[in-house]
Amino acid sequence: MKRTLSFFLALVLFALPALADPLALLDDYAEEISQQYDAGGTFVYRCHYPHVDEDAEGAGNINEFYSFLLYEQEFYIEMARDSFEGEDSSTVITYTVTCNNDEYFSVLLRTETVNPDMSRVSWTGNVFSRKYGTDGKSYSLPKLLGILGPDQNEEWLEDYQTEKADRLIREMVWEMIEENEDGIDYNGLTEETLSHIFFPEEHFYLDQNGDPVFYLQPSAVYYDDVPEGTDLLVFPIPLEDILDEL
């Protein structure tokens, strides 16, 4: 099965066409802080999460998820503010809606952290089913693939099916890495190493067509020859291709 390894710059993700019956976006769940320390240095924190039409189908679990996420950030804010007092530090969390139709809502979060100890960009994908979602929870990979029913929530069964899905996706992504049509220098990345840094059930979002896009965190892979400005390695796989392999 032939696939192409794709590199998407963050700005590409913002050029997505509208799909059928999308959820309307309201004012973001947001927090913005800029504080000058008495001893010098500035603490900056900006966080934006999506807030969707509360009357629409499936909106409840999405809004509950992100409102709680914003609440959780309060603990991080206090810790970060105290940790770098007297120095410049910043955390900026932004989002891109990557899928918004009558079945799924998917978001890719980008977190950029800059402080005296590090400068890092990390990514988090969230997927929600508008029809079968559970309040306050994202939709799991086994349920997206149909190997776990929407109402099957037994922990042992979900663990079993997650392991099954992860194993298959890692094999498919490794095949794409081996083909490596973009000529990327992976600096000795092995299939075993991939199993320690890539967790398909966590590292995915949906594209505009509702197909999964898997990704590797930029900080997890040591590669040298990539286009300047690329900070996310993505592996789009059509859902039907995955289902054919199950």
Q: What is the pLDDT of residue 225?
A: 46
Q: What is this structure's pTM?
A: 0.84
Containing 236, the helix (H) or strand (E) segment is strand 233-236
- CATH class given for the domain over 6-245: alpha beta
Domain boundaries, given as residue ranges, for the chain:
6-245
Q: What is the pLDDT of residue 27?
A: 97
Q: What is the pLDDT of residue 55?
A: 92
Q: Which residue has the tokens 């509702």?
A: 210
Calpha distance 93→111 (Å, rounded): 4
Q: What is the pLDDT of residue 165?
A: 93
Q: What is the pLDDT of residue 186?
A: 66
Q: What is the pLDDT of residue 183?
A: 63
Extract the residue ranges of the chain whose pLDDT is less than 70. 1-20, 181-188, 219, 221-231
Q: What is the pLDDT of residue 9?
A: 38
Q: What's the pLDDT tens digit per position in 144-180? A: 999 888 877 778 888 888 899 999 999 999 999 888 7
> Sign of torsion, CA 128 131 132 135?
positive
Joined together, the tokens standing for residue 187 give: 């600096």
Q: What's 52's DSSP letter?
A: B
Q: How many helices (H) and strands (E) does the chain have?
A: 5, 9
